Amino acid sequence: MASKEKAVRLEQKVRWEEKLNQRLSLLADRGAGSEKISKDTTVKQLRAKMRETDKRLRVIEEKEKKLQEMAKVKAEKLAVPKKEKGKKGKTSKDQPADSKRQQKKKKKKEKKENPDKD
């Protein structure tokens, strides 16, 4: 499995560049022309590996940038004070003090206590 760490990928890139430079200097010492060098399979493979490593590095950098952006957004959200939500339970302003049933009970109780009113 390929590494997803930036440091490891940078080391790989340096290693591929060194190998490519060694191969190019070897071919140049042998007197190969630029056309023959560009067709050399080892050179092609090394350049492909460098392109792949560069591509992975770009993806890693994009992920890091995205993580930083998300952390920034999260920090902004935490900085904003929370709105207090209304409680779902009984509130004195929204509902009458007693329900109809409770009101009937009170009237009945009052009648029992004071029978002469009626």
pLDDT digits (tens, 9 = 90+) for 78-98: 888 888 777 776 555 555 577
| Residue 65 within a domain | yes
| Residue 94 within a domain | no
pTM for the complete prediction? 0.59
Which of 64, 62, 21 lies closest to 43 in space, CA to CA? 21
The CA angle 23-27-31, to the nearest 5 degrees, is 165
Domain count, the chain: 1
How far apart (Å, rounded) are the C-alpha atoms in residues 36 and 50? 20
68: number of CA atoms within 13 Å, CB side? 6
Residues of the chain under the 50 pLDDT cut = none
User: Which one-letter DSSP state was computed for residue 29?
Assistant: H
| Residue 107 within a domain | no
pLDDT at 82: 80
Range of the domain at 66: 6-78
| Residue 105 within a domain | no
| Residue 20 within a domain | yes
pLDDT at 8: 92
| Residue 74 within a domain | yes
pLDDT at 1: 52
| Residue 1 within a domain | no
User: Which one-letter DSSP state was computed for residue 115?
Assistant: G
Which of 29, 49, 30 lies closest to 41 in space, CA to CA? 49
| Residue 55 within a domain | yes
pLDDT at 64: 95
User: Which one-letter DSSP state was computed for residue 117?
Assistant: G
